[in-house]
């Protein structure tokens, strides 16, 4: 039950960094926490909820079968099962198996937006958050949209309103962007061996979790205009037809996939270089295994322990959380993938994580809260509202902290419910 202490400490940290503690609205933060915890209880503990989550994740996973048709057409035998017969685990080629999923899912989401299905879902969920939490319609709807959109696309949703948002609304939108991940990359994470049902659960828990931390750290002290958002992406050029929407979505997905591939290539190589230097230096002091992951692991082991990870695995879990914060969640999930399967773990010469720890770490990593994402948000939101760029820069680090706390709260709740 150490997770309960972890939850209390996460709330305490958010209050410690609050700008106006006296202005915190108890109803908003309490209902937000109950929503986040209720979602966790429903999908992780209640049998019927587990079945619902399993059905949803099964439906999403089945999309990969359709994506495979396009992948096999493009890459031929490189995407076929014989790759595993010839090369074993080496037959899994990330550029072939994972990155194309992002292109497919980006196109699918664009089609759903064009047909109005995605907009209806976002307005429905956002309206429910507005009614339950008392947050404004703009921030509630935009935070909900971040469950499906990436940080690069999020500014399109809020563009007509950003100049008139209160400081608290702007902060909530930023925290929501840091706490969530884009729907287009979920299959990418799953393609690396991460359990899809926990990724989906973490994504939906991120919306109330992000608002919880945002309203603790930057409570509302002004009067929001609270405009109704009738059309998502209002003012943007609409695709001429569903084919145009699919093509545009595929292009957006391709840009994301190329960025992810380039980033992973560069970051993993740079980490290897850094680890080589650290190992060389550590050998002089009798610690040849010194690495960036080990340093981050020891620094963040207490955090991992407080959200429910057994102390025997806290250093490993802390290393993954550290990689996510310093680099990004894709690098962290790529490193985590070797610890999820006994066969992969044996091939990598590491000890696989327990099922309990795997779930907690999956939740903790499921968010865009990292240093590079600050620049993405400043560029995106600042580009459509240059007059607020200075304010965005002021809020950046605190918003990243809020997103991180929201992810850790989801992880602590997951650790609590799966231990019951």
The average confidence (pLDDT) of the chain is 89
Span 97-142, pLDDT tens digits: 888 988 998 899 889 889 988 888 888 888 899 899 999 888 898 8
Span 214-266, pLDDT tens digits: 999 999 998 887 655 544 555 557 888 999 999 998 998 888 888 888 888 88
Which tokens in the block code for residue 337? 């993938």
Span 308-356, pLDDT tens digits: 999 999 999 999 999 999 989 999 999 999 999 888 888 888 899 999 9
CA separation for the pair 300, 291 (Å, rounded)? 14
DSSP sequence for 320-371: HHHHHHHT-HHHHHHHHGGGTSHHHHHHHT-PPPPHHHHHHHHHHH-S--SH
Whole-number pLDDT of residue 228: 52
Q: Are 332 and 320 in contact (CB under 8 A)?
A: yes
The 8-class DSSP code of residue 420 comes to: -
Q: Please tell me which residue, 383 or 322, carries the higher pLDDT value.
A: 322
Span 7-44, pLDDT tens digits: 999 999 999 999 989 999 999 999 999 999 999 999 99
Indicate the range of 29-33, 68-72, 196-200, 380-384 predicted with least confidence. Answer: 380-384
For residue 277, name the pLDDT band (cuts at 50, 70, 90).
Answer: very high
Whole-number pLDDT of residue 313: 97
Has residue 201 got a pLDDT over 80?
yes
| 3-state helix/strand/coil string of 280-296 | HHHHCCCCCCCCHHHHH
Percent of the chain with pLDDT over 90: 55
For the chain, the 3-state helix, strand and coil shares in percent, each to the nearest 5, are 80, 0, 20
Of the ranges 161-175, 204-218, 250-264, 369-383, the best mean pLDDT one:
204-218
Indicate the range of 52-56, 318-322, 395-399 predicted with least confidence. Answer: 52-56
> In the chain, what is the greatest distance between 2 CA atoms, to the nearest angstrom?
65
Of the ranges 162-176, 182-196, 334-348, 396-410, the best mean pLDDT one:
396-410
The 8-class DSSP code of residue 146 comes to: T
Query: CA geometry: angle at 343 spanning 340 and 348, to 5°?
Result: 80
Which distant-in-sequence residues (6+ apart) come within 8 Å of 4 by Cβ?
A: 416
Has residue 287 got a pLDDT over 80?
yes
């Amino acid at each position: 039950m150490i997770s309960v202490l972890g939850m209390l400490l996460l709330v305490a940290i958010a209050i410690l960094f609050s700008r106006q503690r006296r202005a915190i609205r108890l109803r908003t933060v309490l209902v937000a926490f109950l929503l986040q915890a209720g979602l966790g209880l429903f999908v992780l503990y209640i049998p019927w909820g587990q079945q619902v989550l399993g059905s949803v994740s099964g439906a999403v996973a089945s999309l990969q079968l359709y994506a495979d048709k396009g992948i096999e057409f493009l890459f031929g035998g490189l995407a076929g099962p014989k790759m595993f017969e010839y090369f074993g685990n080496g037959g899994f080629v990330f550029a072939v198996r994972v990155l194309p999923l992002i292109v497919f899912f980006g196109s699918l989401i664009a089609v759903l937006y064009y047909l109005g299905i995605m907009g209806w879902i976002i307005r429905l969920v956002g309206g429910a958050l507005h009614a339950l939490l008392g947050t404004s319609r703009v921030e509630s709807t935009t935070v909900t949209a971040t469950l499906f959109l990436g940080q690069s696309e999020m500014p399109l949703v809020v563009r007509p309103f950003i100049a008139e948002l209160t400081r608290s609304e702007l902060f909530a939108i930023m925290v929501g962007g840091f706490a969530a991940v884009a729907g287009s990359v979920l299959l990418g994470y799953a393609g690396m061996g991460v359990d899809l049902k926990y990724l989906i659960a973490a994504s939906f828990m991120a919306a109330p979790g992000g608002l919880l931390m945002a309203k603790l750290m930057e409570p509302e002290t002004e009067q929001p205009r609270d405009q109704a958002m009738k059309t998502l992406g209002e003012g943007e050029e609409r695709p001429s037809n569903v084919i145009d929407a699919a093509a545009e979505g595929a292009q957006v997905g391709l840009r994301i996939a190329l960025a992810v591939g380039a980033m992973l290539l560069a970051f993993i190589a740079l980490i290897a270089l850094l680890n080589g230097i650290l190992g060389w230096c550590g050998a002089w002091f009798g610690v040849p295994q010194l690495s960036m992951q080990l340093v981050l692991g020891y620094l963040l082991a207490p955090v991992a322990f407080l959200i429910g990870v057994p102390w025997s695995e806290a250093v490993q879990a802390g290393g993954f959380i550290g990689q996510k914060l310093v680099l990004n969640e894709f690098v962290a999930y790529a490193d985590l993938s070797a610890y999820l399967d006994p066969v992969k773990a044996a091939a990598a010469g590491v000890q696989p994580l327990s099922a309990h720890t795997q779930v907690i770490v999956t939740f903790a990593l499921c968010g865009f809260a990292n240093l590079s994402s600050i620049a993405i948000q400043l560029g995106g939101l600042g580009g459509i509202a240059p007059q607020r760029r200075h304010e965005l820069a002021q809020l950046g680090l605190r918003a990243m902290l809020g997103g991180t706390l929201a992810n850790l709260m989801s992880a602590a709740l997951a650790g609590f419910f799966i231990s019951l």
